[in-house]
């Protein structure tokens, strides 16, 4: 039996999913969130569907022990390859980041050219093109694997000339003049938004699923009478390995002092 006073579980392979937590916490400040970063096994983006599914089920199990009322898969690779399996196995509301990402791109128009930028694992899964197709999209979807962007974001090179050069080097592989909307298909990439903006100019749309996901979670909880009635929710951080508070991602997204408790599985 799910309870409105329970927390919402959120997991990612590491800290990229904190961009999603930021969106969730902004829209649902009255909710308790438990974030699990599977640092000990990151990254997921370069690994096979079998391995990512195995790790995702472990993350979900760990969060379920905390009696959560909903689960957010804040990792595109895990959403792309493990979501059907998670939904089949578990009986609580489960939201991934792919479908909200697709819908946030669709809001820019039904007949456009979208470039999905993502990890190798997400690109190979074809989850985004399938997602657009399922929504009856009439435009064109291109995909671009950008494996170096995660380490660049983790290093904190958010707005450096090198990051722009890496982006330009990837973008040289696609016909950028034809692209209307850039869809950030990895939860790390919003951290590099300004660098991408510098590369593609001010006229193109750049979207990602975080805010849309927060809206959809709110709707789902409302529908099921599971919204918290607290004044202010709490944030709990768990990780599978030690984390240094000086990490650039943490400092950029959560400047307040936060503590990760290390758990093992």
The verdict on whether 186 is a catalytic residue reads yes
Q: Tell how far CA 229 is from the center of its chain.
A: 26
Spatial contact of 12 and 2, defined as CB atoms under 8 Å apart: no
Strand boundaries in the chain, DSSP class E: 8-12, 33-37, 70-73, 94-95, 113-118, 140-145, 181-184, 205-207, 235-239, 260-262
* DSSP bridge partners of 34: 9, 236
Distance CA 18, CA 222 (A): 23
Does the footprint of a second copy cover residue 188 (CB under 8 A)? no
* Among residues 3, 134, 169, 234, the one that binds a second copy under rule CB under 8 A: 169
Q: Which stretch binds a second copy (CB under 8 A): 23-31, 64-72, 154-162, 201-209?
A: 154-162
Distance CA 48, CA 123 (A): 12
The distance of closest approach from Cβ of residue 11 to a second copy in the complex, given in angstroms and rounded to an integer, is 17
The verdict on whether 59 is a catalytic residue reads no
Does the footprint of a second copy cover residue 151 (CB under 8 A)? yes
CA angle 74, 228, 99 (to 5 degrees): 30
Distance CA 127, CA 209 (A): 14
Q: What are phi and psi of 235, to 5 degrees?
A: -120, 125
Does the footprint of a second copy cover residue 263 (CB under 8 A)? no
Q: Which stretch binds a second copy (CB under 8 A): 21-29, 86-94, 163-171, 212-220?
A: 163-171
Q: Which stretch binds a second copy (CB under 8 A): 64-72, 88-96, 188-196, 236-244?
A: 236-244
The distance of closest approach from Cβ of residue 48 to a second copy in the complex, given in angstroms and rounded to an integer, is 5
Site mask for a second copy (CB under 8 A), range 35-74, x = bound: ----xxxx---xxx-xx-----------------------
List the interface residues with a second copy, window 108-147 (CB under 8 A).
147
> Which amino acids are annotated catalytic?
75, 186
| Residues that bind a second copy in the complex, under the rule CB under 8 A | 39-42, 46-48, 50-51, 147-148, 150-152, 154-155, 157, 160-162, 165-166, 169, 240-242
């Amino acid at each position: 039996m799910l309870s409105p006073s329970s927390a919402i579980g959120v997991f990612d392979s590491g800290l990229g999913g904190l961009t999603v937590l930021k969106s969730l916490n902004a829209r649902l400040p009255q909710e308790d969130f438990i974030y699990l970063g599977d640092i000990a096994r990151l990254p997921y983006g370069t690994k096979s569907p079998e391995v990512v599914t195995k790790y995702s089920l472990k993350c979900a199990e760990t969060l379920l022990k905390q009696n959560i009322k909903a689960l957010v898969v804040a990792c595109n690779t895990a959403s792309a390859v493990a979501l059907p399996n998670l939904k089949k196995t578990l009986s609580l509301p489960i939201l991934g980041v792919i479908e909200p990402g697709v819908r946030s791109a669709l809001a820019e128009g039904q007949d456009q050219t979208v470039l999905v930028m993502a990890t190798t694992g997400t690109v190979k899964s074809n989850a985004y093109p399938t997602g657009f197709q399922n929504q009856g999209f009439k435009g064109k979807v291109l995909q671009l694997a950008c494996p170096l962007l995660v380490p660049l974001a983790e290093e904190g090179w958010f707005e450096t000339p090198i990051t722009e050069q890496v982006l330009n080097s990837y973008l040289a592989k696609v016909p950028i003049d034809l692209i209307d909307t850039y869809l950030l298909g990895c939860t790390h990439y919003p951290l590099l938004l300004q660098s991408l903006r510098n590369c593609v100019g001010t006229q193109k749309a750049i979207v990602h699923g975080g805010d849309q996901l927060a809206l959809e979670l709110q709707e789902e909880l409302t529908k099921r009478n599971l919204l918290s009635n607290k004044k202010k929710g709490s944030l709990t951080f768990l990780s599978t390995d030690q984390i240094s508070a000086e990490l650039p991602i943490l400092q950029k997204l959560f400047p307040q002092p936060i503590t990760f408790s290390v758990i093992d599985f």
